[in-house]
């Protein structure tokens, strides 16, 4: 891991094997990470994540990365159903979510600040298969001259080959989106995951355009 301190914190319901924190990272650069976990079926049990201060970067500039090998995309299974705080479904909800849908042809991002919310679909150029190692990386920063509104970019990789990069997309959400109350993998509006979770990480900063390898 270059330029990051890795933090691991086991979820409250399902034990995870965690990686060792780095001791050679750049100052003020941190990551929260979970995984790996094999044979995940969130229809039976979601992975619940407790709050850690490293997740506060969700209210600043951050990189959210997920590495998964799904074994099913049939309804109600998604490739990366994850949320922090809540899955925004109305203007009164604060939170961030990915994967509220099958997500093999597009990935849905939902983001809210308790005043309003935005839904953005990142459409891939190809259909993403199951049974292969997938990595998704969502990078979000602040637009210049926009009163604190955000931009986000999604990258997708299949078996080591990048198949999609969205470019910067305007996300008209300012202010805090994370309420210091942790997150969840699975059960995003009934969408679940079946397969292997390699890792899930949240890192500070939007200037590290690289794949995070643990």
Residue 186: its pLDDT value, please?
96
Q: Provide the pLDDT for residue 208.
A: 43
Tell me the pLDDT tens digit for each residue of 84-130.
999 998 888 999 999 999 899 999 999 999 999 999 999 999 999 99
pLDDT tens for each residue of 15-63: 333 332 332 233 335 799 999 999 999 999 999 999 999 999 999 999 9
Is the model more confident about 90 or about 72? 72
Nearest alpha carbon to residue 182 among 66, 67, 38, 13: 13
Alpha carbon distance 185, 71 (integer Å): 16
Write the Ramachandran bin of 127: left for phi over 0, alpha for psi from -120 to 50, otherwise beta: beta
Residue 57's pLDDT is 96
Q: Is the pLDDT of residue 210 over 70?
A: no
Per-chain mean pLDDT for the chain: 84
Q: Which domains does the chain have, with CATH numbers?
A: 5-204 (2.60.120.200)
pTM summary value: 0.84
Q: In this predicted structure, what is the pLDDT of residue 29?
A: 54
32, 58 in Cβ contact below 8 A? no
148/155: higher pLDDT:
155
Q: What is the pLDDT of residue 80?
A: 97
Reduced 3-state DSSP string for 138-176: EEEEECCCCCCCEEEEEEEEECCEEEEECCCEEECCCCC
Q: Residues 150, 142: contact at Cβ < 8 Å?
A: yes
pLDDT at 148: 85
């Amino acid at each position: 891991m270059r330029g990051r301190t890795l933090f691991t914190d086991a979820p409250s319901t399902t034990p995870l094997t965690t990686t060792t924190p780095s001791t050679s990272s750049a100052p003020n650069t941190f990551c929260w990470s979970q995984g790996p976990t094999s044979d995940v079926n969130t229809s039976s049990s979601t992975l619940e994540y407790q709050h850690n201060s490293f997740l506060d970067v969700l209210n600043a500039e951050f990189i959210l990365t997920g590495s998964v090998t799904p074994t099913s995309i049939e309804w109600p299974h998604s490739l990366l159903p994850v949320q922090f705080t809540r899955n925004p479904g109305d203007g009164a909800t604060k939170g961030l979510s990915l994967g509220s849908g099958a997500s093999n042809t597009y990935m849905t991002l939902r983001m809210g600040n308790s005043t309003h919310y935005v839904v953005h679909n990142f459409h891939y150029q190809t259909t993403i298969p199951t049974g292969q190692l997938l990595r998704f990386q969502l990078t979000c920063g602040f637009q210049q001259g926009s009163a604190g509104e955000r931009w986000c970019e999604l990258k997708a990789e299949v078996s080591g080959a990048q198949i999609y990069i969205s470019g910067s997309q305007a996300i008209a959400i300012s202010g805090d989106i994370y309420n210091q109350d942790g997150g969840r993998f699975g059960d995003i509006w009934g969408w679940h995951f079946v397969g292997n979770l390699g890792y899930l990480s949240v890192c500070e900063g939007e200037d590290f355009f690289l794949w995070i390898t643990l």
